[in-house]
């Protein structure tokens, strides 16, 4: 650290999950020069699945996450399909996987927006922490909160019908699926789908209205970045399988319809000493300019259309907001997220009406190979699973680039931008903490879900001057009270 | 049951219920014949009793004994389903869990695993004891069978099945106490160099997923696995030997 820099550390004392820590590096003029969002959890899945059987992996790796386990399950399953030499699933297996993934994305998006982010957006970032949580939303906006809770519940019901459990079930097996949906299961889900679509439309309207009503937030954590995501053969929004498209901030195409099995030719990962999370970048642009954003904002910006009519109409309004250019507002992630939720709801209705999902032709076999790469659009962005196996079928090497990793640099940049805007001289304020959390949460709830799960995340903030002396310490206790302990 | 066994009028009493037994039967044999469940892991009808897991410990006229090895005898007063005995059985089951590496959430045997089912039956909610995390070798050398020693509970069902039912001698336990481990009878110590095949009963007998058929995990959906549909204590569940890919409700 330069002698002209100060270090501000925001360090959660305890967290149930998603343990994050933020360090802000200030220069002599008290400007935030750099932000470091430390990911201090060590997951280690890439290492400890080595030596395990390949057919076990898709069930094993879903334990990476409790919010989007299906995405890990399916990304691994797609890689394993390649290991068993299967390029094309049966129509029944493919549609069941798509349906499972739509259910997953719907429930994750509903959780992200309603349970975790809507308290910030509805009450204001600096509002009373005791009320800034889903319980507070239920009290003040009961209709909105109930719709959000029911949207999530419905997504989980779709998952449970296919995978046997709402969280961490079993569904995909090498070359296919282990069960189809009965007529009764389909009819049971179809009974509620009209409401689900209507509530998803309401959610799009709500997120759009919130964004429009707060022009002061349009620049909140805003970045001009490249976008990476998967698209369908016609350039449409695609969440399960397609080619990769990367576009630069000016809308120009960096790559399109790229076969993701060649991802190592286009993406590199940089390791930095202060975080367990790597920093991916597009190798053609280099470390400085090659970083990119993934997830709903990237996908809705990147695609040329959405295949379902209501979501497509919403996408057009979204594009009109930036006059056809990319919407780069970081808080517009939530708006894009709800457009995708609507697309999921519409797609679930279509698939539930498709006879193929009750078919019994579920598995195909092929010639075994020693390498498989599976990529999927998880709720928070493009997710890469890459496995190599030995001749005995055991995992020899694994590489996972999870969605949050792809957004790593962007999260750091948004945090830096927000901190620079809101930090006040040499004093750390509660308002600053709240704003930093909101910036991170636009991308990912996993780092901060303990906050709004109870609204009581303990935080400690330390201010260290250029000489390494502790000059201020602010502690937010689990009861929500802020204490200055210097 | 052997044809040479002769019926007699003798009875034993288990938890106050009088049941008949035939000459040559153990307490376990007589209990299973009367649809009385005594928790067990190393016992399997048709194989010689082993008496190693001690889960079937009962009190016979006030003294502890293994139901799977003690011959039934006229007038025995047996306590089985008591709080005290089930408490001991739960402790034994907890010790089995912590001595190995049993990660039920991702294990392909989950839902079909006897150890897991026994744990549920005994209301085991945690491992209680510190995990040992032993380092054990996976042997995936065989083209059709994988041996995952992490899950082995040393019940010797595979050892006995290979000898007594398959007419082979593929498995053995070596070492004593905490150093005991499952080994394979081949010069290389690898499963690939034995004469076991996927048609052998020993390849399917493992109650915990230490011996599994390769490349066939999770084919039975949740809701259709053995212990999704039955409890371990239900009559008739015991002899089910699951073949890979068969749904429990198809048996």
Residues of chain A found within 8 Å of residue B221, distances taken between Cβ atoms: 164, 170-171, 178-179
Q: Are strands B145-148 and B138-139 parallel, antiparallel or unpaired?
A: antiparallel
Whether the CB-CB separation of A404 and A380 falls below 8 Å is answered with yes
What is the span of the domain harbouring residue A35?
6-43+416-484
> With 70 as the cut, is the pLDDT of residue A144 above it?
yes
Residue A8 has pLDDT above 80, yes or no: no
Q: Quick one: closest CA in B to A389, which residue? A: B140
Does the residue A87 lie in any domain?
no
Q: Among B25, B52, B81, which residue terminates a domain?
A: B81
pLDDT tens-digit map of A274-292: 777 789 999 999 999 999 9
Of B141, B146, B222, the CB nearest to A165: B222
- Give A472's pLDDT tier (boundaries 50, 70, 90): low
| Distance in Å, alpha carbon of B235 to nearest chain A alpha carbon | 26
Q: What are phi and psi of A315, to 5 degrees?
A: -60, -40
A170–B218 C-beta distance less than 8 A: yes
pLDDT at site B248: 42
Domain membership of residue A112 (yes or no) is: no
Does a structural domain hold residue B167? yes
CA angle (B128, B129, B130) in 5-degree steps: 125
Are B129 and B225 in a shared domain?
A: yes
Same domain, B219 and B138: yes
Nearest neighbour of B106 by CB, restricted to A51, A59, A173: A59
> What was the pLDDT predicted at A187?
97
Pick A120 or A445 by higher pLDDT: A120
Are residues A327 and A296 in contact, defined by beta-carbon separation less than 8 angstroms?
no
Query: Helix (H, G, I), strand (E, B), or coil: what is residue A245?
Result: strand
CB A327 within 8 A of CB A315: no
The reply to whether A190 falls in a domain is: no
CATH number at residue B33: 3.10.20.740
Query: What residue has token string 């032709």?
Result: A361
Q: Is A184 on the interface with B (CB under 8 A)?
A: no
Q: Which residues of A touch B140 (CB under 8 A)?
A: 53, 392-394
Average pLDDT, chain A: 87
Q: Which of B39, B55, B81 is the last residue of a domain?
A: B81
Q: Do A393 and B214 touch (CB under 8 A)?
A: yes
**Is there a domain that residue A12 lies in?**
yes
The 10s digit of each residue's pLDDT in B193-247 is 999 999 999 999 999 999 999 998 899 999 999 999 999 999 877 645 444 334 3
Q: Helix or strand or coil: residue A391?
A: coil
Would you state the structure tokens that stand for residue B131, as one six-digit string?
């995990």
**How many interchain CB pairs under 8 A, A with B?**
53
Give the length of chain B: 251
Q: Tell me: the pLDDT tens digits for B8-36?
A: 579 999 999 999 999 999 999 999 999 99
Within this chain, do residues B223 and B149 fall inside the same structural domain, yes or no? yes
Q: Give the gap in angstroms from C-alpha B162 to the nearest C-alpha of chain A.
A: 23
Q: Is A66 on the interface with B (CB under 8 A)?
A: no
Put simply, the answer to whether A164 touches B220 (Cβ < 8 Å) is: no
CA atoms within 13 A of residue B169's CA, in its CB half-sphere: 2
Say yes or no to pLDDT of A17 above 60: no
Q: Which of A25-29, A137-141, A193-197, A291-295 has the lowest mean pLDDT?
A: A25-29
Residues of chain A with pLDDT > 90, as a percent, come to: 65
Cα-based distances in Å from A3 to A7, A108, A424, B57, B103: 10, 44, 20, 72, 50
Flag whether B2 is in a domain: no
Checking if the pLDDT of A469 tops 80, the result is no
In terms of Cα–Cα distance, which of A145, A367, A386, A350 is closest to A260?
Answer: A386
In a domain, residue A370? The reply is no
H helices of A214-266, where?
Answer: 263-266
What confidence tier does A436 reach under pLDDT thresholds 50, 70, 90? confident
- For chain B, what percent of residues have pLDDT higher than 70? 91
Residue A272 has pLDDT above 70, yes or no: yes
Q: What is the CA radius of gyration of chain A?
A: 22
**How high is the ipTM of this complex?**
0.89
Indicate whether A278 belongs to any domain. no
pLDDT at B187 over 80: yes
pLDDT higher for A34 or A8? Answer: A34
Q: What percent of chain A has pLDDT over 70?
A: 86
Residues from chain B that touch A56, judged by Cβ atoms under 8 A, are: 106, 108, 217
Partners of residue A59 in chain B, C-beta under 8 Å: 106, 108, 217-218
**Does A442 score more than 50 pLDDT?**
yes
pLDDT band at A437 (very low <50, low <70, confident <90, very high): confident
| Contact at CB, B221 and A171, closer than 8 angstroms | yes
The mean pLDDT of chain B is 90
Q: pLDDT: is A222 or A462 the higher one? A: A222
Q: Which residues in chain A are contacts of B141 at CB distance < 8 A?
A: 392
Domain assignment present for B221: yes
Is pLDDT of A389 > 70? Answer: yes
Q: Which domain holds residue B167?
A: 94-250
Q: Is the pLDDT of residue A449 over 50?
A: no
Which residue in the set B105, B138, B217 is minimally distant from A63, CB to CB? B105
Per-residue pLDDT band for A19 (boundaries 50, 70, 90) equals: very low
CA distance A41 to chain B (A): 21
Residue A22 in any domain: the answer is: yes
Lowest mean pLDDT among A36-50, A221-235, A242-256: A36-50
Q: Is A56 helix (H, G, I), strand (E, B) or coil?
A: helix
Q: Does A170 touch chain B (CB under 8 A)?
A: yes
Task: Give chain A's end-to-end CA distance (angstroms, integer).
Answer: 24
More confident residue, B137 or A459: B137
pLDDT(B160) > 60: yes
Q: State whether B129 and B227 are in the same domain.
A: yes
pLDDT digits (tens, 9 = 90+) for A64-104: 877 889 999 999 999 999 999 999 999 999 999 999 999 99
In a domain, B89, yes or no: no
Residue A460 has pLDDT above 70, yes or no: no
Please count the structural domains in chain B: 2
CB contact under 8 A, A164 and B140: no
> Which DSSP state fits A388?
E
How many domains are contained in chain A? Answer: 1
Q: Which of A48, A164, A176, A365 to mutate to test the interface with B (most CBs of B within 10 A)?
A: A164
Bridge partners of residue B184, in order along the sequence: B171
- Asked if residue B47 has pLDDT above 50, the reply is yes
């Amino acid at each position: 650290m330069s002698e002209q820099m100060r270090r501000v550390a925001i360090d959660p004392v305890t967290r149930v999950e998603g343990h994050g820590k933020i360090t802000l590096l200030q220069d002599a003029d008290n400007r935030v020069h750099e932000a470091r969002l430390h990911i201090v959890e060590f997951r280690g899945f890439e290492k400890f699945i080595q030596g395990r059987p390949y057919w076990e992996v898709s069930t094993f790796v879903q334990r990476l996450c409790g919010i989007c386990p299906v995405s890990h399950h399916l990304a691994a399953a797609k890689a394993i399909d390649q290991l068993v030499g299967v390029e094309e699933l049966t129509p029944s297996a493919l549609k069941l996987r798509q349906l499972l993934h739509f259910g997953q994305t719907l429930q994750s998006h509903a959780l992200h927006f309603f349970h975790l982010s809507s308290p910030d957006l509805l009450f204001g970032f600096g509002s009373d922490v005791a009320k800034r949580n889903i319980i507070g939303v239920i009290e003040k906006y009961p209709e909105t909160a109930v719709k959000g809770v029911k949207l999530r519940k419905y997504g989980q019901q779709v998952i449970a019908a296919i995978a046997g459990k709402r969280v961490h079930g079993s569904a995909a097996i090498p070359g296919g699926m282990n069960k189809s949906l009965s007529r009764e299961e389909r009819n049971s889900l179809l009974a509620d789908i009209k409401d689900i679509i209507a509530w998803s439309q309401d959610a799009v309207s709500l997120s759009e209205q919130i964004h429009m009503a707060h022009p002061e937030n349009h620049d909140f954590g805003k970045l001009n970045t490249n976008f990476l995501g998967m698209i369908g053969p016609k350039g449409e929004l695609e969440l399960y399988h397609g080619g990769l498209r990367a576009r630069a901030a000016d809308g120009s195409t960096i790559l399109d319809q790229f076969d993701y099995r060649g991802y190592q030719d286009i993406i590199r990962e940089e390791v930095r000493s202060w975080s367990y999370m790597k920093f991916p970048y597009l190798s053609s642009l280099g470390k400085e300019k090659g970083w990119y954003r993934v997830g709903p904002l990237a996908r809705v910006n990147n695609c040329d259309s959405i295949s379902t009519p209501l979501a497509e109409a919403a996408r057009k309004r979204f594009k009109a907001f930036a006059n056809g250019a990319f919407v780069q507002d970081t808080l517009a992630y939530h708006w894009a997220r709800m457009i995708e939720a609507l697309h999921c709801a519409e797609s679930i209705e279509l698939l539930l009406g498709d006879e193929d999902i009750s078919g019994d032709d579920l598995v195909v076999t092929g010639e075994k190979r020693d390498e498989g790469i599976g990529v999927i659009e998880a709720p928070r962005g493009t997710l890469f699973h890459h496995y190599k196996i030995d001749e005995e079928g055991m995992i020899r090497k694994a590489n996972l680039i999870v969605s949050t990793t792809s957004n790593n640099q962007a999260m750091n940049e948004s945090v830096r931008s927000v901190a620079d805007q809101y930090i006040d001289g040499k004093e750390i304020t509660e308002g600053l903490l709240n704003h930093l959390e909101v910036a991170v949460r636009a991308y990912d709830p996993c780092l901060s879900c303990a906050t709004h799960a109870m609204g009581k995340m303990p935080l400690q903030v330390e201010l260290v001057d250029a000489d390494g002396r502790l000059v201020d310490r602010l502690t937010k206790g689990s009861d929500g009270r802020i204490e200055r302990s210097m | 049951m052997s044809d040479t066994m002769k019926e007699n009028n003798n009875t034993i009493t288990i938890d106050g219920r009088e049941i008949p037994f035939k000459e040559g039967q153990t307490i376990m044999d007589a209990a299973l014949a009367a649809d009385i469940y005594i928790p067990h892991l190393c016992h399997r009808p048709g194989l010689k009793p082993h008496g190693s897991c001690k889960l079937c410990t009962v009190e016979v006229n006030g003294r502890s004994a293994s139901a799977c090895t003690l011959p039934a005898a006229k007038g025995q007063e047996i306590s089985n389903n008591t709080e005290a005995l089930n408490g001991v059985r739960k402790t034994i089951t907890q010790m089995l869990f912590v001595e190995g590496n049993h990660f039920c959430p991702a294990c392909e045997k989950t839902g079909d695993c006897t150890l897991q089912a026994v744990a549920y039956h005994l209301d085991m909610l945690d491992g209680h004891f510190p995990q040992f995390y032993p380092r054990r070798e996976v042997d995936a050398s065989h083209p059709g069978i994988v041996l995952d020693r992490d899950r082995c509970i040393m019940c010797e069902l595979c050892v006995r099945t290979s000898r007594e039912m398959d007419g082979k001698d593929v498995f053995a336990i070596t070492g004593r106490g905490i150093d005991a481990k499952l080994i394979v009878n081949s010069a290389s110590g690898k499963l690939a160099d034995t004469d076991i095949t996927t048609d052998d009963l020993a390849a399917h007998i493992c109650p915990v997923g230490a011996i599994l058929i390769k490349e066939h995990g999770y084919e039975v959906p949740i809701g259709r696995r053995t212990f999704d549909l039955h409890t371990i204590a239900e009559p008739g569940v015991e002899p089910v030997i699951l073949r890979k890919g068969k749904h429990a409700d198809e048996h």
